[in-house]
């Protein structure tokens, strides 16, 4: 394989301009890049990154590159790549990139293979597809791999397979679903190196998952459909960090928001935030729009499709395309779906209703829009860059576990972000410090 696989290198100039545009909103990452270019904390490290190939990711790649890392970038979702950005990464920043928007599963895993062949010292994942592929190969569990990746892995000798893993000192993980998978690996004793759960940093999920997913998911649904949200019933499945953001932004657009949940605490919170809460079985009959953000499987299933109104619009913004049971809808439908607009597959059920699935059930904010705005990715990717630096310095003291981002890093990112926004805050006085650490003062 050559050292990149992208759609069209001629799109590079447009990509570079958009990367520059995003950079303006990423002051924290920019300041890290300036320091990295002097200190080179990642010098000599091969990094394989499996991330959404967006303008913000390009700025992270530039930062790691300035820090001395030798990087290969591959997509973490077949529909999330911005082809002009991939072109600019290759052409302008000399970062080998393997990502094409709309690539099929075989190409997606051919690209993951390129990341593996880079023999990384460090992995950087969004959803844990890279590390899980690495572990399945090392364990000889080829049946769990995409068939062409399995064929390649079967062709490697035992030594070559072990070699893939040998040099890895650690990794980082960007999203909730990836962290859940990694914690399951740790529990099953198959995690082979330490991984930092970037998602668990407060400066990541409080802002990226909530405000980033909230805004960009609405943006994706509107770009795909151009349907008015005001006055419509908008069903949000999952009231976690992403769900809270999405519900509040849908309400901001005038939609009547219904939340479905399985966790009583989250359901209670949604009620007190002023939303209707009900099971999906009931919400299915009412919704004009549906969007899942649970990280769970078959949240919208056959019985829900049966109850939906004619014209319902159904999307997902959770990590994998398993939240909506599209195969069940296919079975209930007459013929193949019609692509009635880009990213809108219209299914006709046997009883004559039209159900619209957006972006093939893949995360809609990246499929039909541009993903999170740069300002929140500034903090998420500052966490990635500083976690990579931390891993480079401390990997030999860490165990094969999932670690949180060190609190000092998290707080420093918040401080830098406020500073960049020109926002000042108070500091505790000596009296206050004393009072807050004492138990002696009472009524
Ligand atoms: N689109 C994006 O750009 C983007 C960004 C960040 C995270 N994510 C992904 O979004 C998903 C959610 O992330 P999060 O940080 O909000 O997670 P979270 O754990 O904070 O929230 C998930 C919520 O879904 C609920 N849930 C689980 N199964 C359910 C079901 N069957 N019905 C209703 N609710 C159910 C859980 O109780 C929980 O409250 C993950 O897959 C994550 O990786 C996507």
| Residue-wise DSSP of 140-186 | T-GGGS-HHHHHHHHTS-HHHHHHHHHT--EEEE-SHHHHHHHHHHH
Helix (H/G/I), strand (E/B), else coil: 50: strand
Helix (H/G/I), strand (E/B), else coil: 168: coil
pLDDT in tens, the chain (443 residues): 469 999 999 999 999 999 999 999 999 999 999 999 999 999 999 999 999 999 999 999 999 999 999 999 999 999 999 999 999 999 999 999 999 999 999 999 999 999 999 999 999 999 999 999 999 999 999 999 999 999 999 999 999 998 999 999 999 999 999 999 999 999 999 999 999 999 999 999 999 999 999 999 999 999 999 999 999 999 999 999 999 999 999 999 999 999 999 999 999 999 999 999 999 999 999 999 999 999 999 999 999 999 999 999 999 999 999 999 999 999 999 999 999 999 999 999 999 999 999 999 999 999 999 999 999 999 999 999 999 999 999 999 999 999 999 999 999 999 999 999 999 999 999 999 999 999 998 88
Helix (H/G/I), strand (E/B), else coil: 325: coil
Q: What is the pLDDT of residue 331?
A: 97
Beta strands in 157-212 (DSSP E): 170-173, 195-197
Closest C-alpha residue for ligand 1 atom 21: 240
Distance, in Å, from the CA atom of 371 to the CA atom of 352, rounded to the nearest integer, reads: 34
Q: Which residue has 């300036």 as its token pair?
A: 34
Q: What is the pLDDT of residue 441?
A: 87
Let me know: does 104 contact 118? Beta carbons within 8 Å.
no
Which of the listed residues 51, 52, 77, 176 should we mutate to test ligand 1's pocket, taking the one with most ligand atoms within 8 A of CB? 176
Report residues whose beta carbon is within 6 angstroms of any ligand 1 atom.
175-177, 205, 209, 213, 237-243, 260-263, 266, 293-296, 299, 317-319, 363, 365-366, 372
Q: Which of 132, 108, 196 is nearest to 400 (CA)?
A: 196
Q: 274-306 b/e with 16+ CB inside 10 Å = b?
A: ebbbbebeebbebbbbbbbbbbbeebbbeebbe
Q: What is the pLDDT of residue 372?
A: 96
Helix (H/G/I), strand (E/B), else coil: 128: coil
Token readout for 106 is 């075989």
Backbone angles phi, psi at 313, to 5 degrees: -115, 125
Let me know: does 293 contact 217? Beta carbons within 8 Å.
yes
Which of the listed residues 77, 212, 240, 259 should we mutate to test ligand 1's pocket, taking the one with most ligand atoms within 8 A of CB? 240
Which of the listed residues 82, 178, 183, 318 should we mutate to test ligand 1's pocket, taking the one with most ligand atoms within 8 A of CB? 318
Ligand 1 mean position, distance from CA 301 (Å): 17
Ligand 1 mean position, distance from CA 238 (Å): 6
What is the value of pTM for the model shown?
Answer: 0.94
**The dihedral formed by the CA atoms of 53, 57, 59 and 60, expressed in degrees to the nearest 10:** -130
- In ligand 1, the atom with minimum distance to the C-alpha of 217 is 1
Distance, in Å, from the CA atom of 242 to the CA atom of 140, rounded to the nearest integer, reads: 36
Distance, in Å, from the CA atom of 309 to the CA atom of 312, rounded to the nearest integer, reads: 6
- In ligand 1, the atom with minimum distance to the C-alpha of 237 is 33
Ligand 1 mean position, distance from CA 158 (Å): 38
SS (H, E, C) 283-316: HHHHCCEEEECCCCCCCECHHHHHHCCCCEEEEE
What's the sign of the alpha-carbon dihedral 120, 121, 126, 132?
Answer: positive
Q: What is the pLDDT of residue 149?
A: 96
């Amino acid at each position: 394989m050559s050292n990149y696989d992208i759609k069209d290198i001629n799109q590079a100039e447009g990509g570079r301009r958009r990367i520059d545009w995003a950079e303006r909103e990423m002051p924290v990452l920019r300041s890290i890049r300036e320091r990295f270019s002097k200190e080179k904390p990642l010098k000599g490290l091969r990094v394989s990154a499996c991330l959404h190939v967006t303008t913000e990711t390009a700025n992270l790649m530039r930062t790691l590159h300035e820090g001395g890392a030798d990087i290969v970038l591959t997509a973490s979702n077949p529909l999330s790549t911005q082809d002009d950005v991939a072109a600019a990464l290759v052409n302008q920043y000399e970062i080998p990139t393997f990502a094409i928007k709309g690539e099929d599963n075989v190409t997606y895993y051919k690209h993951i293979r390129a990341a593996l062949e880079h023999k990384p010292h460090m992995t950087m994942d969004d959803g844990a597809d890279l590390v899980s592929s690495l572990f399945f190969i090392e364990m000889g569990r080829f049946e769990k791999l995409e068939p062409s990746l399995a064929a390649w892995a079967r062709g490697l000798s035992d030594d070559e397979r072990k070699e893939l893993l040998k040099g890895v000192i650690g990794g980082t993980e960007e999203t909730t679903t990836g962290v859940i998978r990694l914690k399951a690996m740790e529990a099953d004793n198959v995690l082979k190196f330490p991984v930092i759960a970037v998602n668990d940093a407060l400066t990541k999920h409080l802002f990226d998952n909530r405000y980033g997913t909230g805004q960009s998911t609405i943006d994706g649904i509107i770009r795909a459909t151009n349907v008015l949200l005001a006055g419509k019933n908008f069903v949000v499945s999952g009231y976690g960090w992403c769900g809270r953001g999405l519900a509040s932004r849908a309400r901001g657009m005038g939609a009547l928001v219904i939340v479905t949940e399985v966790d009583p605490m989250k359901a209670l919170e949604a009620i007190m935030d002023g939303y209707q809460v009900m099971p999906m079985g009931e919400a299915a009959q009412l919704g004009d729009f549906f969007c899942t953000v649970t990280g769970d499987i078959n949240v919208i299933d056959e019985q829900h499709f049966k109850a939906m109104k004619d014209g319902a619009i159904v999307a997902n913004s959770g990590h994998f395309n398993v939240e909506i049971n599209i195969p069940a809808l296919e079975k209930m439908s007459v013929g193949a779906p019609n692509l009635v607009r880009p990213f809108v597959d219209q299914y006709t059920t046997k009883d004559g209703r039209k159900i619209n699935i957006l972006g093939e059930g893949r995360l809609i904010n990246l499929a039909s829009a541009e993903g999170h705005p740069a300002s929140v990715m500034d903090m998420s990717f500052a966490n990635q860059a500083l976690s990579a630096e931390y891993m480079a310095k401390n990997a030999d003291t860490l165990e094969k576990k999932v670690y949180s981002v060190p609190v000092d890093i998290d707080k420093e990112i918040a401080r830098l972000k406020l500073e960049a926004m020109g926002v000042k805050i108070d500091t505790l006085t000596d009296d206050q410090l004393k009072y807050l650490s004492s138990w002696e003062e009472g009524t």
